[in-house]
Structure 1
Amino acid sequence: MATYLYRIGKWAYLNKFKMIAIWLLVLVGMGVAAATLSKPTSESFSIPGIPSEKAQTQMVEAFPEKPKFDENVSVKYVIKAPAGANLTEPQYQAAINTMVEQMKQFDKAKAPEESIANPFDTYGTKDNPGPGRDAVIEYQEQTFGKSPASAEADAQASSPINQDATIAQLGAAFDVEAAADVSSTAHTQMEDVANSARASGLTVEMSGTALPQPAIGFTSELIGMGVGAIVMILTFASLVAWGMPLITALVGVIIGMLGVTAATFFFDLSSETPILATMIGLAVGIDYALFIVSRYRHEVHTSKSRAEAAGKAVGTAGSAVVFAGATVFIALAALFIVNIPFLTAMGLAAAGTVLVAVLVALTLLPAILGVFGNKVFAGRLKFLNPPDVTPHDPARRHNGQRWVNQVVKRPAIFVIGSIVILGLLAIPIGGLKLGLPNDGNGDPSTTQRKAYDLVAEGFGPGQNNPFVVVADGSGIADEGQRIEAFDGLVNQIKGVDDVATAMISPGDLNEAKDTAIISVLPASASGDDATQQLVKDLRGLESSVADDTGLTYGVTGQTAIEIDVSDQLSSALIPYLIVVVGLAFILLMIVFRSILVPLTAALGFLLSIGATFGATVAIFTNGDFGLVGNPQPLVSFLPIILIGIVFGLAMDYQVFLVSRMREAYIHGTPAKEAVISGFSHSSRVVAAAAAIMISVFAAFMLQDMVFIKAIGFALAVAVVFDAFIVRMTLIPAVLAMLGDKAWWLPKWLDKILPNVDIEGEKLNKTLAAEQEASDEREALKV
């Protein structure tokens, strides 16, 4: 591989303008594709095949006029009267009527005259019932034979006005396909409606998918690149060289983002997908280019031309980049095995940006080096030591060499110390809680969270997270028996722990009267353990109900879908981890020609990921140190995304550090000295790469989305733990303890595994042979 990459790098250097033109064409082509194919992102987290999704499909088939739970783009206003007052008072009724008239003017409002109305007029209260309330009472009495008191209780349970008429809800739907299609005019109108009602003394908060979503800012990217620039200036001691990795990383990220934008035409991508892809693409793009430029500087001192130095840098460091990128790519692309569409899309998008970053580093970077020629390392900062000495400079010791000498001198102490530190950091992982984003765990300062709290205050916490039981009575021939069975199921559900109420509303029996929708309100909030248990209890009743009555049913609703998604993600975690670690283990065996080196790499990863989860849970869930103002469960798909990314990055540092150790070892350096030699050559650039990664990831904590904040923090601390504690402390200590045994590989396995020549041994032999042949030709000419 090194020989092929050498030729690619040298050709790109010598044909710099052709290579740059190729990438410009790619950039333009992706830009055109993005401009013509882009579609809005999706906020759906559903998974085909989960119980709640099957029940929802059954509901839509029986009631085609009802939208799916995540399809209706709407806004809901929650209104509260001042303390001691009542919403039925004339001045507040006037304010609500004004709101209604303003809401009817919303841009692209769906059927405003029919669907937007004052709930006190359309539904009413117990003392002053409206047609909606009367219809519910009549329906319950006539269809199910309920008593007036029982029918009245059901009417109140489905009322948009609470018992004492101090809090009410009203809303509007929009005639658009996706939330992203709601216009800025509509957003302004929504806020104006709320403000005008607030001016009359009412408390008004809003929720719903039609509200503006958190903007994705570019501040985090700029901060990451700014810190990266400073680190690279310090690394290369040059005011010019630092720009090479930044330019190529930026090109890679732009192409990757254009590709993700174009992919929205073919796939449903969540709004978090481009942020995640940018985060990964920017970090690995800078790192991969940094490794190659660093090796290029080293090769310039020993090569006969800069073109050959570029070829050697791509052939050696580029080989490590290919395998490091391959581990990240595998870890992200392998997300498809969990069979969760939105997660697969996120993984493939991020994997695509990594692939682009690798290709850009191997081809565009040497071309840019060719453009700058002998000015690549110009702007020398004399107060900084350059990373490599020339053959004419005296040898010097640096901090990386001093550190590894101490590690190799007392390896057992560093092994034990690293394990203890990471183990202690992992302790909070026992409090790991998972969930999906919803208004209930949103920032308390947002109007969505305030609306959620007002609903819980006025109607009970379960009003925010109703369940839907879709009951199929097609197995019962007699219509009267079906109705009786449906009513019996409602009463049985009411007796389940944590059920506040259950009912079949008007319109929730289909035309054939063989399918019913039973609305179930829990007594607890969506994030409570009791709510999770309620879903299990309701599903646990299904078999006995089927045996006793002939009814079958499924449980769905937005909260049920979220619970099923979280369970599916949790169950997919271990299989995913096995597949990713297994594939990477094989890849690392090929790279290092060893069994123990990949094994120690994988075990070190487990330590660092455990510490990462512990720290993330401590900060974001437990609220330790007060760094997060709104502690909450971690997003359900964060662990699996985190494992994929961190494993890939961990193997990056493993490859870059240990490949130089192996390179020294196979060239005859004793095992312990090879650890020191390899670490001395690569520690500075690995430390710089880690610092850049940390800054890029940590900067994403400035984004508004809680998921992005948490994953930015988790990735940043993961790099700290893995790069500095595991790869730069634990691994050198373990390899020093193992000595020659670290590089042992059974002969039979050695014959099976392909030899990819990541150290460039075959490349050096090829170049030596070519030089010898050239010398002979010159001698013959003489």
Structure 2
Amino acid sequence: MASFLYRLGKFSYRRRWLVISIWLAVLVAVGGSAAAFHGTMSNNFTIPGTETQRMADKLKEALPDASGGSASVVFDAGDAGFDQAKKDAVSAALTKLEAMPDVQSTVNPFTTQEQLDKAAGDIAAGEATAAEGKAQLDAGRAQLTAGEAQLAATEQQLAASGLTPAQIDAQLAPTRAQLAATKEKLDAGDKEAADGAVKLALGKRQAEASEGLRFVSSDNKAAVAQVQFKTSINAVDPAVRKEVQDIVQGVSSAGVTAYASKEITEDVSEIFGIAEIVGVAVAALVLILMLGTLIAAGLPLLMALIGVAVGVGGTFALTSVIDMSSISPMLALMLGLAVGIDYSLFIVNRHRGQLLAGMDGEESAALATGTSGNAVLFAGLTVIIALAALVVPGLPFLAVMGVAAAATVGVAVVVALTLTPAVLGLIGRRLISKRAWAKAAKHNAEPGHEATDRELEEKRSSGGWGGLVTRHPWVSLIASIVLLGALALPASQLRLALPDGGSEPVDSQAYKAYDLTRSSFGEGMTGPIIVVAEFPGGLSENDAKNKQYDVADRLRSVENVVAAVPVALSDDHRTAVFQVIPKEGPASAGTVQVVSDLRAKGTAIHDDLDTTIGLTGQTAGNIDVSAKLGAALPPYLAIVVGLSLILLLLVFRSIVVPLLATGGFLLSLAAAFGAVVAVYQWGWLGGIFDVANPGAVLSFLPIILIGVLFGLAMDYQVFITSGMRESFMHGESAKHAVRSGFSHAAAVVTAAAIIMVSVFSGFIFSHLTMVRPLGFAMAFGVLIDAFVVRMTIVPAIMYLLGEKAWWLPKWLGRILPDVDVEGAKLDRSDRSKTSSEELVH
């Protein structure tokens, strides 16, 4: 592989304009495709086959009008409260919303609250009317009975007087007709009373089901309206979301402030913001300080941007045919920038050092591609494999996310191996400043400088951080493990969920909507649970309604359920929909328990009421996704760890090094989890990281962090340890090889880690709050892994083990292929004979 990459580097250097032209053509083609074919991204994290998805499909089939996604808008009237003018302004805005083609319906809070408030009075009035009617009916029955008795007595008297039956009938016919009419009227009254009693009973049950539910706050200062769309909430176009916000915010002219919920305000159409640009700027500063010139510093940045443009552009081009969450291109962007800069930096730094040592430019670019490029290829493959393995848990949105990020990393590797040497050929000597050239020329001209270089190299390897660690290996090892163990302690409290409005920035409209809803109506109103019930066939309308209230009573009996309200019934009386309001918010542990208890209650409901229930909606769906991701975590971790052991065994031909690398990865992973829990779940340093409302950790953060951190940790393991192995293979003692190999790699790995941390840190303050904990986890994980694990624990243990670190059973050594990651066996004489024609042919 090293020889192939050497020839590839030489070809790219010589045919630089061809290579650059090809990449420009690719860039234009991908950009055009992204512009022409991109679709709408969403945050749709549903999982096919789950109960949530089955119930959503059932609802769409049986009650299409109730199957669309819903969101809320909260109206704040201020201290003065709602007067009629303010109510009219809100009602007018909701009427405008209903006229939108994408809106199915709206729930006017004032009309609904008025109905709820009237319900108790109407029931009382109905009961009074029913009692009065019953009294009248009873009196009428008594009169009818008395009239019938009087008629019978009269008939006997007439018969005794000698009248014929015909004469009696003729005389009593008017009285009998009058009594028959009275009886008919009383029978009708009884039926009407019975119907009224049924309606009254249903009304009472409706009022009981709605008890505790409000749409206008008790202090008359806030009102919450529901907006139902014709499609799922994730399929609502950003332009429609913006139009909804513009319409409801029109109430400001009446002195009312409107806050749309997160479902409406969330805009996932843009993935790059100011915070991300700051992260890239910090990376640029590090490159300038390390490489010395703007041209040299700009080269890795340019390579990373081209790789990201192609990778993320290709991802965007597929959004019209693939259901893609907003975090997919964000993850691809995050990783593409970080690894793109690092991979090009490794090659550029090697090339720069070789040029200063007097090597020819073409030979240096080829050799840098064959050596550092070989390590880049392997490091990139580890990241790609780890990300591509995200398809293993069987979660579609996670698979798309992993494949998109893996493809972008793959593009970054190809850019580093082909476009970097081509641009190096274009730049030539301008890569290095005149001052550095003059200093190098003077140094190379000095007689005996080779011995001086070796002496300086020896002094450098025994000093610095590597020298300190190897002089005090036990202290370094124990201190590092204690530090990582302390950082990992909070990880035991890790709780997973998808974010709600409470995780948004405090100055955002979504957070204000969440906060006002929580304070005015209860936290549960921010995330209602949808329950779908399937009734037996053949029920009348009244029977179906009674069945609805029977089910609602059972649902309301679940602990921490505030209300369970029937909201829809299908025309065939077979499917009913309920809105269950939990006591706590959608991402809380209490609501997770409510969902579990509701499902457990389903067994009793089925046995007692012959009714099957299932849960759906955003809240239940998010909980299902989090549970599924949590269950997928252990097998995925096992796959990644197993992969780590096999790959590192191939690369380093050692038993100890793979175990050490994997153990270090698990330590840094646990520390990263602990830090995420402390900041985003417990709220430590929340003011610094803009965590206004600490809560559960993003549900797919752990599985993504495992894949990404594994790949990046192996990057640093390769660049740190391969130098040690090369020194050891060239005859140095095992302990000395640790120092010399560390000194060769320390500067570039430090710069690479700082760059990666800077890029990831830029996402900690992203405009997409879902990405923030992911950016923090990756930045902190890389920081810990690079500086504590790879640059402290690894050299300390390898120095303590000495030659035992490179032990490999002979039988295994014969089986394993020699990968030669650093290109240590690349023959210089063969290199001089290599030509671009050999590569072509």
Q: Taking structure 1 as the reference length, what is the TM-score of the superposition?
A: 0.88
Answer yes or no: is the 8 Å Cα contact 2:588–2:696 preserved in 1. no
Please, which runs of 5 or more residues in structure 1 have no aligned partner? Answer: 775-782
Residue 829 of structure 2 corresponds to residue 768 of structure 1: yes
Give the equivalent residue in structure 2 for 1:778.
Answer: none
State the 1:748 CA deviation: 2.7
Distance 1:594 1:142 in 2: 84
The structure 1 residue matched to 2:246, chosen from 174, 179, 189, is 189
Equivalent positions of 1:9-48 (< 5 A) are 9-48=9-48
The structure 1 residue matched to 2:73, chosen from 64, 73, 77, is 77
Answer yes or no: is the 8 Å Cα contact 2:668–2:784 preserved in 1. yes
**Deviations 1:406-436, CA, capped at 9 Å, x for gaps:** 2223322211111111111212223323221
Give the equivalent residue in structure 2 for 1:319.
Answer: 374
The structure 1 residue matched to 2:422, chosen from 367, 380, 393, is 367
Residue 552 of structure 2 corresponds to residue 497 of structure 1: no
The one-letter code matched in structure 1 to 2:414 is L
Answer yes or no: is the 8 Å Cα contact 1:110–1:172 preserved in 2. no
Give the equivalent residue in structure 2 for 1:777.
Answer: none
Give the equivalent residue in structure 2 for 1:285.
Answer: 340
State the 1:737 CA deviation: 1.4
The one-letter code matched in structure 2 to 1:704 is H
Give the equivalent residue in structure 2 for 1:670.
Answer: 733
SS at match of 2:764: helix
The structure 2 residue matched to 1:211, chosen from 260, 265, 279, is 265
**Deviations 1:482-501, CA, capped at 9 Å, x for gaps:** 66655433322222211222
The one-letter code matched in structure 2 to 1:253 is V
Q: Against the structure 1 CA distance between its residues 271 and 255, is the aligned structure 2 distance closer, same or farther, given a 3 Å change threshold? A: same
Q: Which moved more, 1:704-713 or 1:22-31?
A: 704-713
The one-letter code matched in structure 2 to 1:266 is V
Equivalent positions of 1:299-378 (< 5 A) are 299-300=354-355, 305-378=360-433
Q: Against the structure 1 CA distance between its residues 109 and 172, is the aligned structure 2 distance closer, same or farther, given a 3 Å change threshold? A: farther
**Deviations 1:238-294, CA, capped at 9 Å, x for gaps:** 443222212211111111221121121221222222222111111101100111112
Distance 1:538 1:339 in 2: 26
Distance 2:577 2:439 in 1: 72
Give the equivalent residue in structure 1 for 2:585.
Answer: 525
Distance 1:194 1:383 in 2: 70
State the 1:209 CA deviation: 3.1
The one-letter code matched in structure 2 to 1:445 is D
Give the equivalent residue in structure 1 for 2:152.
Answer: none
Answer yes or no: is the 8 Å Cα contact 2:540–2:573 preserved in 1. no
The one-letter code matched in structure 2 to 1:226 is A
Answer yes or no: is the 8 Å Cα contact 1:646–1:719 preserved in 2. yes
State the 1:81 CA deviation: 4.5
SS at match of 1:241: helix
Q: Against the structure 1 CA distance between its residues 349 and 133, is the aligned structure 2 distance closer, same or farther, given a 3 Å change threshold? A: farther
Distance 2:556 2:811 in 1: 67
Give the equivalent residue in structure 1 for 2:89.
Answer: 98
Answer yes or no: is the 8 Å Cα contact 1:437–1:635 preserved in 2. yes
- Paired residues, number: 755
Please, which runs of 5 or more residues in structure 2 have no aligned partner? Answer: 128-192, 836-841
State the 1:68 CA deviation: 4.2
Answer yes or no: is the 8 Å Cα contact 2:93–2:248 preserved in 1. no
The structure 1 residue matched to 2:114, chosen from 120, 124, 128, is 124
Give the equivalent residue in structure 2 for 1:779.
Answer: none
Give the equivalent residue in structure 1 for 2:328.
Answer: 273
Answer yes or no: is the 8 Å Cα contact 2:300–2:342 preserved in 1. yes
Answer yes or no: is the 8 Å Cα contact 2:564–2:579 preserved in 1. yes
State the 1:339 CA deviation: 1.7
Answer yes or no: is the 8 Å Cα contact 2:249–2:258 preserved in 1. no
Q: Against the structure 1 CA distance between its residues 487 and 171, is the aligned structure 2 distance closer, same or farther, given a 3 Å change threshold? A: closer
Answer yes or no: is the 8 Å Cα contact 1:493–1:538 preserved in 2. yes
Distance 1:607 1:256 in 2: 31
State the 1:464 CA deviation: 2.3
Answer yes or no: is the 8 Å Cα contact 1:675–1:736 preserved in 2. yes
The one-letter code matched in structure 1 to 2:473 is P
Answer yes or no: is the 8 Å Cα contact 2:529–2:620 preserved in 1. yes
Q: Against the structure 1 CA distance between its residues 772 and 619, is the aligned structure 2 distance closer, same or farther, given a 3 Å change threshold? A: closer
State the 1:439 CA deviation: 1.5
Distance 1:452 1:319 in 2: 51
Q: Against the structure 1 CA distance between its residues 133 and 750, is the aligned structure 2 distance closer, same or farther, given a 3 Å change threshold? A: farther
Q: Against the structure 1 CA distance between its residues 771 and 641, is the aligned structure 2 distance closer, same or farther, given a 3 Å change threshold? A: closer
Distance 2:102 2:431 in 1: 65
Q: Taking structure 2 as the reference length, what is the TM-score of the superposition?
A: 0.82
SS at match of 2:73: strand
Answer yes or no: is the 8 Å Cα contact 2:119–2:207 preserved in 1. no
The one-letter code matched in structure 1 to 2:73 is Y
State the 1:313 CA deviation: 1.0
The structure 2 residue matched to 1:454, chosen from 516, 529, 535, is 516
**Deviations 1:101-136, CA, capped at 9 Å, x for gaps:** 355456972388x94685435763456679x999x9
Distance 2:444 2:557 in 1: 79
SS at match of 1:623: coil
Distance 1:254 1:332 in 2: 19
Q: Against the structure 1 CA distance between its residues 141 and 503, is the aligned structure 2 distance closer, same or farther, given a 3 Å change threshold? A: farther
Distance 2:581 2:615 in 1: 12
State the 1:384 CA deviation: 10
SS at match of 1:449: helix
SS at match of 1:169: strand
The one-letter code matched in structure 1 to 2:470 is V
State the 1:21 CA deviation: 0.8
Q: Which moved more, 1:170-179 or 1:433-442?
A: 170-179
Residue 666 of structure 2 corresponds to residue 606 of structure 1: yes
Answer yes or no: is the 8 Å Cα contact 1:546–1:552 preserved in 2. yes
State the 1:52 CA deviation: 1.9
**Deviations 1:439-459, CA, capped at 9 Å, x for gaps:** 133333333223233333443
SS at match of 2:48: coil
Distance 2:221 2:196 in 1: 28
The structure 2 residue matched to 1:632, chosen from 695, 708, 711, is 695
State the 1:437 CA deviation: 1.4
Answer yes or no: is the 8 Å Cα contact 1:62–1:515 preserved in 2. yes
Answer yes or no: is the 8 Å Cα contact 1:220–1:696 preserved in 2. no
Equivalent positions of 1:390-401 (< 5 A) are 392=449, 394-395=452-453, 396=456, 397-398=459-460, 401=463
SS at match of 2:581: strand
The one-letter code matched in structure 1 to 2:48 is P
Residue 805 of structure 2 corresponds to residue 742 of structure 1: yes
Equivalent positions of 1:412-561 (< 5 A) are 412-474=474-536, 486-505=548-567, 508-561=568-621
Answer yes or no: is the 8 Å Cα contact 1:3–1:762 preserved in 2. no
Distance 1:40 1:485 in 2: 41
Answer yes or no: is the 8 Å Cα contact 1:277–1:349 preserved in 2. yes
Distance 1:534 1:709 in 2: 28
Q: Against the structure 1 CA distance between its residues 761 and 462, is the aligned structure 2 distance closer, same or farther, given a 3 Å change threshold? A: closer
Query: Which structure: greater helix fraction?
Result: 2
The one-letter code matched in structure 2 to 1:557 is G
Query: Which is greater in Rg?
Result: 2
